[in-house]
């Protein structure tokens, strides 16, 4: 009880004892606003008697689920009631000064998105393919997951890596070129981490060996890599078109698991980059918190002096893991070219490396949380693509596209608020 009620506020040292923490109003307010939005806009404007169609199965599925037609308005009313209930629950947790279990925001988010979909498609004869919507969402969130894992490895060890954007781009470039030259997408996939690792090395050299501010090195690297890939694209790749035709990675369906309705095609009918992502997230989640490597990693980021005292070579650990982080981003960059089956194009990562940084912070520097944050972006992107393909637009496309960014701002400001980064990140260690 006291664990929850007593403030552990470092910056106000005199704030100890049995003083109650201030009530955290942010979550209930955010939930309340969204509930009001659902009740006041979605319900009345859905149109009485309109129907929303969802489909769950794709052709050739072993178990076929029939399409579902939901009466829009009653469904929205039901959802609004449940949302209000969750809102009240969150208020109760806030008043008790307790943290709501993760299930509450998760359920709220899923229901709100469902309500949004029902509302957007209400009265439209078209059917929303739920399965392809979700599998596309997962696919699009892949580079964000790789990027956030990079940020996470680097920041846990104490190095701020702003250069994720550049490392993704470098990986995409090298994957395309090597994949084209070897006429084999797996060659590109193997080469991509090298490009990321190279720029991880540059970051490490300048930040650790020469004590240049890490954010500065990262920013410079982004400009450098963007300039370099643009330059090589408009000279070498344009002169030799054959260098930029990577064959695409094939999609593998995992036997049995791939036949599960809805989830099967979403999770287990992807290409190898997505499977590597699963493995990476699971392995990192375990290693960072349960292994000797992870303990040392975190020690160097939280309290390098203490780590040094017990014999950990702080700068060597930082050096190696910054390169490792770069390699992960490079691999993620392969997504844009060989995994998506596209040629390299100028600035094709278009700021996703920065979004990955946001994903990492929203995920509070843990792999398992980061994946949810990445899915929010992947889902919003793919929803927009799907709706455009279905020629549905009730709001201008631009406002639809703003959604993931707005969600992030609300999440960062409302739900997550102040998060705690590794204590000594960005601080060079001089012994």
Partner 1 sequence: MVDNNKDTSSGNVTKTIPPDVETVTDADEAIEIATPVEDAPKVEKKATGAHKDEDEPTGAKAIALKIVTGSGLISVLSVVAALIFGAILIAAANAEVQAAAVSGNIGKFFSTVGKVIGSAYYALFQGAIVNPDAHNFAAFIAPLFDSLKVATPLIFMGLGLAVGFRSALFNIGGQGQIIVGGIFASYVGFAFDLPPVIHLIAAIIAAVIGGMLWGFIPGILKAKTGANEVIVTIMLNSIALLLISWVLAQPAFQRPGENRPLTPAMHDNAIYPIIRIGEIQLSVAFFLAIAAVILTWWLLERSTLGFKLRATGLNPDAAKSAGINASMMSVWALMISGGFAGLAASSAVLIPATGMASGVASSYGFDAIMVALLGRSKPLGTFLSALLLGALRSGGYLMQATTSTPIDVVSVIQAVVVMFIAAPPFIRALFRLPDPEKLALRKAAKEVA
Q: Which stretch binds partner 1 (CB under 8 A): 80-88, 171-179, 212-220, 264-272?
A: 212-220
46 or 169: CB nearest partner 1? 169
- Which one of residues 82, 312, 401, 429 is an interface residue with partner 1 (CB under 8 A)? 401
Using the CB atoms, write b or e for 349-382: b if 16+ within 10 Å.
Answer: beebbebbbbbbbbbebebebbbbbbbbbbbbbb
Shortest distance in whole angstroms from residue 220 CB to partner 1: 5
Q: Which of residues 264-283 bind partner 1 (CB under 8 A)?
A: none
Rg (CA), the chain: 23
**CA–CA distance, 80 with 111 (Å, rounded to integer):** 9
**Under 8 Å between Cβ of 194 and 334:** no
Q: Hey, which residues does 71 pair with through a beta bridge? A: 51
Q: Which of residues 110-129 bind partner 1 (CB under 8 A)?
A: none
Q: Which of residues 357-386 bind partner 1 (CB under 8 A)?
A: 357-358, 361-362, 364-366, 369
Q: Which stretch binds partner 1 (CB under 8 A): 36-44, 49-57, 77-85, 214-222?
A: 214-222
74-113 footprint of partner 1 as x/- string (CB under 8 A): -----------------------x-x--------------
**CA–CA distance, 46 with 57 (Å, rounded to integer):** 26
**Angle between helical axes of 26-37 and 103-121 (0-180°, round to 10):** 20
Burial class of residue 22 (count of CB atoms within 10 Å of its CB; 0-12, 13-18, 19+):
exposed
- Which one of residues 1, 2, 11, 59 is an interface residue with partner 1 (CB under 8 A)? 11
Number of neighbouring beta carbons within 10 Å of residue 428: 18
- Which one of residues 16, 81, 235, 245 is an interface residue with partner 1 (CB under 8 A)? 235
Shortest distance in whole angstroms from residue 363 CB to partner 1: 8
Kindly determine how many residues on this chain lie close enough to bind partner 1 according to the rule CB under 8 A: 76
Shortest distance in whole angstroms from residue 359 CB to partner 1: 9
**CA–CA distance, 96 with 418 (Å, rounded to integer):** 20
Q: Which stretch binds partner 1 (CB under 8 A): 18-26, 136-144, 253-261, 267-275?
A: 18-26
Shortest distance in whole angstroms from residue 366 CB to partner 1: 5
Q: Which of residues 23-62 bind partner 1 (CB under 8 A)?
A: 24, 26
197 or 237: CB nearest partner 1? 237
341-360 footprint of partner 1 as x/- string (CB under 8 A): ----------x--xx-xx--
Three-class SS state of 246: coil
Shortest distance in whole angstroms from residue 206 CB to partner 1: 6
Three-class SS state of 271: strand
Does 236 bind partner 1 (CB under 8 A)? Our answer is yes
Shortest distance in whole angstroms from residue 245 CB to partner 1: 19
Three-class DSSP labels, 84-153 = HHHHHHHHHHHHCCCCCCCHHHHHHHHHHHHHHHHHHHCCCCCEEEHHHHHHHHHHHHHHHHHHHHHHHH
80 or 323: CB nearest partner 1? 323
93 or 186: CB nearest partner 1? 93
Does 4 bind partner 1 (CB under 8 A)? Our answer is yes
* DSSP structure string for 15-69: --SSPBPPP--HHHHHHHHHHHHIIIIIHHHT-TT-EEEEE---TT-SSPPPPEE
Q: Which of residues 146-165 bind partner 1 (CB under 8 A)?
A: 160
Using the CB atoms, write b or e for 122-147: b if 16+ within 10 Å.
Answer: bebeeebbbbbbbbbbbbbbbbbbbb
**CA–CA distance, 389 with 399 (Å, rounded to integer):** 16
Q: Which stretch binds partner 1 (CB under 8 A): 133-141, 189-197, 266-274, 296-304?
A: 296-304
Does 418 bind partner 1 (CB under 8 A)? Our answer is yes
- Which one of residues 50, 58, 184, 230 is an interface residue with partner 1 (CB under 8 A)? 230
- Which one of residues 1, 8, 59, 310 is an interface residue with partner 1 (CB under 8 A)? 8
Cα dihedral angle (287, 293, 294, 300), rounded to 10 degrees? -170
Shortest distance in whole angstroms from residue 332 CB to partner 1: 18
234 or 251: CB nearest partner 1? 234
**Under 8 Å between Cβ of 368 and 392:** no
Does 422 bind partner 1 (CB under 8 A)? Our answer is yes
194 or 232: CB nearest partner 1? 232
């Amino acid at each position: 009880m006291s664990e929850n009620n007593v403030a552990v506020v470092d910056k106000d040292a005199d704030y100890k004892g049995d003083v109650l923490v201030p009530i955290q109003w942010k979550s209930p307010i955010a939930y309340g606003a969204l509930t009001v939005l659902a009740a006041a806009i979605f319900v009345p404007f859905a149109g009485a008697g309109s129907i929303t169609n969802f489909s769950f199965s794709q052709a050739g599925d072993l178990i076929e689920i029939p399409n579902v037609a939901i009466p829009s308005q009653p469904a929205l009313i039901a959802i609004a009631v449940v949302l209000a209930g969750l809102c009240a629950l969150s208020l109760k947790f806030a008043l008790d000064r307790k943290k709501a279990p993760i299930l509450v925001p998760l359920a709220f988010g899923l229901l709100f998105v469902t309500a949004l979909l029902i509302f957007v498609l209400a009265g439209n004869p078209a059917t929303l393919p739920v399965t392809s919507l979700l599998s596309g969402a997962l696919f699009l969130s892949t580079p964000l997951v790789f990027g956030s894992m990079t940020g996470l490895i680097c920041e846990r060890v104490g190095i701020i890596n702003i250069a994720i954007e550049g490392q993704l781009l470098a990986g995409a470039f090298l994957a395309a070129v090597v994949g084209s030259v070897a006429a084999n997408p797996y060659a590109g996939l193997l080469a991509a981490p090298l490009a990321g690792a190279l720029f991880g090395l540059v970051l490490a050299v300048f930040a650790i060996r020469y004590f240049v501010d890490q954010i500065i090195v990262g920013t410079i690297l982004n400009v450098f890599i963007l300039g370099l890939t643009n330059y090589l694209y408009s000279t070498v790749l344009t002169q030799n078109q054959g260098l930029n035709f990577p064959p695409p990675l094939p999609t593998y369906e995992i036997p049995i698991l791939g036949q599960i309705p809805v989830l099967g095609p979403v999770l287990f009918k992807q290409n190898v980059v997505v499977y590597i992502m699963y493995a990476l997230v699971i392995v990192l989640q375990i290693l960072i918190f349960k292994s000797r490597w992870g303990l040392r990693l975190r020690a160097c980021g939280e309290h390098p002096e203490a780590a040094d005292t017990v014999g950990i070579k702080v700068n060597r650990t930082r050096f190696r893991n910054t390169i490792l982080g770069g390699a992960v981003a490079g691999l993620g960059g392969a997504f844009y070219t060989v995994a998506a089956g596209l040629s390299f194009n100028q600035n094709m990562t278009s700021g996703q490396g920065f979004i990955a940084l946001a994903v990492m912070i929203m995920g509070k520097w843990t792999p398992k949380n980061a994946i949810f944050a990445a899915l929010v972006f992947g889902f919003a992107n793919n929803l927009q693509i799907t709706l455009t393909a279905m020629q549905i637009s009730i709001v201008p496309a631009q406002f639809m596209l703003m959604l993931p960014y707005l969600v992030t701002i609300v999440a960062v400001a409302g739900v997550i608020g102040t998060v705690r980064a590794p204590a000594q990140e960005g601080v060079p260690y001089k012994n």
